[in-house]
Structure 1
Amino acid sequence: MTANAAFRNLVKNSSMMFLLNVAGAGVSVITIPIMLKIMGVESYGQLVLVQAIALAVFTVCTFQYWQGLLIALPGHRMGHVALRRAVLRSFAFESVGIAVVLVLLTALSLFGIKQFGKFSTLEVLLLSVAAVFPMLGTHTAYFRLVNKYNVLMMAGFLASLIKLVLLMLVARFSPSISMLVAAFVLPELVRFLLLFYMIFRWRHGVEGQLDANAINQRKLIDAGRWSTLQAICDLPVVQLDRIIIGFTLPGHNLGVFAILKRIYSLINMATAPFYSTSIPEFAARVNAGDIPAAFGLWRRTMKLLFGVSALAAFGCFALKGLWMPYLFPVLQDYQGEFFVVLLSAVVAGGFITTHSLYWALGNLKRSTLITVLTNLLYLGLLWLLTWAFGLIGALSAFLVHVFVVAAVKITLLNSKYTLQP
């Protein structure tokens, strides 16, 4: 495949994922005001805390074999039987993480910590399952490898849509926390079962020019190991900050923080698909020894994504008078925090494929070291600025972290690989 054809394929797949991501995220965002109406911002903050702990535990206790599949398999031919066997092996690793989550969250709930006070033990377990199932990477790897991105994303969109409908019914006919939890869990369970049903019914394999016997098993395991370590190192950014805020500031602060981070994620939906779809494209070129082509593709995506993320953030800010008073009136008292989140989203969205290129090049140790050091910086700033300035301090620490990661990763790549596109 030529460089231009690869770029068009990457944009096509990413665009479809972007549209479905935006639709799903839009539905997801609409569910938050309904949840706030049913349970209030403080209880919503407790829900966020329960799921943050569940996801943190799952990340620590799960070996990401599926990431290794995404790195080692592109460019090789693999039949559906062998691919299904690899999928089962990946899910076995994730099952260990699920079991640990259920045991630990049960113990915390029975211990009676006040931050879980709004939920029963069963509700805590159901919320944990609802948090973990969408994060399973096994089916994600399968649908990416067989080039069926649209199926994966459509399932996510439909799950979000069903969740919205169920929550609307709960708000109308039975506005209680127990019914809210049921509406939250059921769509994710159905999505989980449906995707695995497709995996075991379909007969799709991986297409490529290289023989399956040429797959580098050591590269596969190393990629899984280092991606697991990096995911653990990323916890300060994706989960630990919520846990720290949940146990440090009053309950409503975590609710507001979660809403702002959801807006951050919504803006990044414009660029996030490029992370997953670019890994196979970069890896195929690196595996074939064409590193200059991988860098050329990376530079083109960087230019495109910065403009896209900036446009998305500007639109969100310019139109805030139309949506904020109706969807999230609580945010009207947090305008400074809102601006900081938008700026963070622009920076993070613009360089997202840089992470993909690090994985494809096999620079796993360097990427992990950068993550460890910058996240340690983030934890220190988070503690200091949250203690000194509250919620605005926590979000400012996140902005500094995003700037530092972008600057370090891009500078090191350009200094080591002085290649022209």
Structure 2
Amino acid sequence: MITKLIRQASILLSGNLSASILNFLSVAISLKALGVESFGQVTLLQAYILVISLAFNPQAWQGMIRYFNLGQDKAGLIVATLKYDLFCAILGTSVAILFAQVYADSFKLSEYTQLLQWCSAYILLNQTSVAIGVLRYQERYKALALQNIISAVLFFGCTVIGYWKNLSISFFVATYLITLGLGVVFIQLQCSRCAISILKSNDRACEQLSKMQKNEFNHFNFTVHMTALSDIPVKQLDNILVGAVVSVGAAGAYRVIKQIATISTKVTGPLNQVLYPEVNLLLAEKAYEKVKNAMLKIIFLLLVPSLVVVVLASVSISYWVSAIFSDDLLVYKWDIVTFLLVHAIATAFTPIHPVFLALGYVKRLFIITFFSNVILCVGILLLGQHLGLLGVVIAISLQYLLTIVFKLPLILRRLAKEIDESITLHT
């Protein structure tokens, strides 16, 4: 299993890591072109669209993969997912347009209200549940890797032009969302032929089975969507909270810190993407021992190199921050070091998340995610006021810790129970 996961993940890794490095350079160029304060404004404007996009992106591909593996009607699942996506897309775009003025005014960015309203089209476009579900189910990871590369290359080119021509904040905000949208269009086109083929090959016998499982499928998707909603603070809303509680400049610095840490996420992300469908398959075969061993082995393999990289980056931080970004960021040197350490540990434990979901703990996942993100928001609001960006980092550390503490013991107990029961049945 490990060999297969590494082979599949390496395909995504090559694309995601390349995209992450390009995005890292794009952020560095943008910061040099705009300065910390203006880059903070760019961060807050982009965050508005990305937060609403996340809120109305149901992530229903997880339900598709789960029920595809259970032998359900694939055509019926695709149609149901498309309807869910379309409803969310229209609703999310409408919300973004209606509240753009209020958001812009709250950060004294009212001159960019119309820009935000036009950029809301990204929310309408960014409904990828069917595309991601079909491509991952077929193990077409090259197409998914190319999505990130296309967006990163295009945005890198745009930032170089923006730096060279000394272009405005509006240019950097709009081009980022446009290039993300073009990556979405690419995977939509890649999955279209397969999706149409599945829809055409639908038969009546499977359709009846699909109706019997419709409520269960919808309930699973709804719970996953609610979990995604509750996880928004740690993904994008934190940028807005930092801008509101600390300062606009701190929001820009925080965006840079997260971008630095994102490189490690791009290493583990592909592994988790291939792990989820593989775990679902193994659980269907009742291979619980393999799931447990693979999860623990991956955690160990990720933890050691992650800590080594953090140590090297921390020792040389004064050199590479000044060279790549700006001397202004050295004010946040210890914030960066602390965040990198916490993020490295949390990243090593990311394999527990797809295993937890594959075990069917969707309700508990929602509760854990909601509770830990409430702690994050409260922590940023309270600690950020007194400790600045360091308080924000401490709040994120608490969120990471709570997530691991609540999930890992439950996974280990469940797998141990299933393994014991399996041994008992065979003896």
Separation in 1, partners of 2:2, 2:412? 20
Q: 1:289 aligns to what SS in structure 2?
A: coil
Separation in 2, partners of 1:316, 1:77? 48
Separation in 2, partners of 1:155, 1:295? 31
Contact 2:97–2:117, Cα closer than 8 Å, also in 1: yes
Contact 1:270–1:308, Cα closer than 8 Å, also in 2: no
Separation in 1, partners of 2:137, 2:92? 28
Q: 1:262 aligns to what SS in structure 2?
A: helix
Could you tell me which residue of structure 1 aligns to residue 272 of structure 2? 275
Q: Which residue of 299, 304, 310 corresponds with 2:301?
A: 304
Could you tell me which residue of structure 1 aligns to residue 85 of structure 2? 94
Q: Gapped runs of 5+ residues in structure 1?
A: 1-5
Could you tell me which residue of structure 1 aligns to residue 409 of structure 2? 411
Report the CA distance shift for 1:128/1:336 in structure 2 as closer, same or farther (over 3 A): farther
TM-score between both structures, scaled by the size of structure 2: 0.85
Contact 2:282–2:291, Cα closer than 8 Å, also in 1: yes
Give the aligned residue type for 1:276: Q
Give the aligned residue type for 2:87: V
Of 58-67 and 334-343, more deviation after overlay is shown by: 58-67
Separation in 1, partners of 2:119, 2:259? 18
Aligned positions of 1:127-206 closer than 5 A? 127-130=119-122, 136-173=128-165, 175-202=167-194
Separation in 1, partners of 2:3, 2:323? 39
Contact 1:282–1:294, Cα closer than 8 Å, also in 2: yes
Q: Which residue of 24, 31, 34 corresponds with 2:26?
A: 31
Deviation at 1:87, TM superposition (A): 4.1
TM-score between both structures, scaled by the size of structure 1: 0.86
Deviation by residue 1:37-84 (Cα, 9 ceiling, x = unmatched): 343322322332233333333344443322201222236497xxx45x
1:47 is the counterpart of 2:75:
no
Separation in 2, partners of 1:129, 1:340? 37
Separation in 2, partners of 1:179, 1:46? 12
Q: Which residue of 96, 104, 127 corresponds with 1:105?
A: 96
Q: Percent identity?
A: 18
Could you tell me which residue of structure 2 aligns to residue 331 of structure 1? 329
Contact 2:265–2:347, Cα closer than 8 Å, also in 1: yes
Report the CA distance shift for 1:278/1:115 in structure 2 as closer, same or farther (over 3 A): same
Deviation at 1:144, TM superposition (A): 0.8
Q: Gapped runs of 5+ residues in structure 2?
A: 200-204, 421-427
1:371 is the counterpart of 2:365:
no
Contact 1:51–1:128, Cα closer than 8 Å, also in 2: no
Report the CA distance shift for 1:186/1:384 in structure 2 as closer, same or farther (over 3 A): closer
Q: Which residue of 10, 15, 28 corresponds with 1:15?
A: 10
Separation in 2, partners of 1:174, 1:406? 44
Deviation at 1:279, TM superposition (A): 0.6
Supply the RMSD in Å over aligned alpha carbons. 2.9
Report the CA distance shift for 1:302/1:212 in structure 2 as closer, same or farther (over 3 A): farther
Of 252-261 and 406-415, more deviation after overlay is shown by: 406-415
Deviation by residue 1:305-349 (Cα, 9 ceiling, x = unmatched): 222432443343344345311222232111110111111211211
Q: 1:270 aligns to what SS in structure 2?
A: helix
Report the CA distance shift for 1:321/1:130 in structure 2 as closer, same or farther (over 3 A): farther
Deviation at 1:280, TM superposition (A): 0.5
Separation in 1, partners of 2:176, 2:122? 7
Could you tell me which residue of structure 2 aligns to residue 220 of structure 1? 217
Aligned length: 408
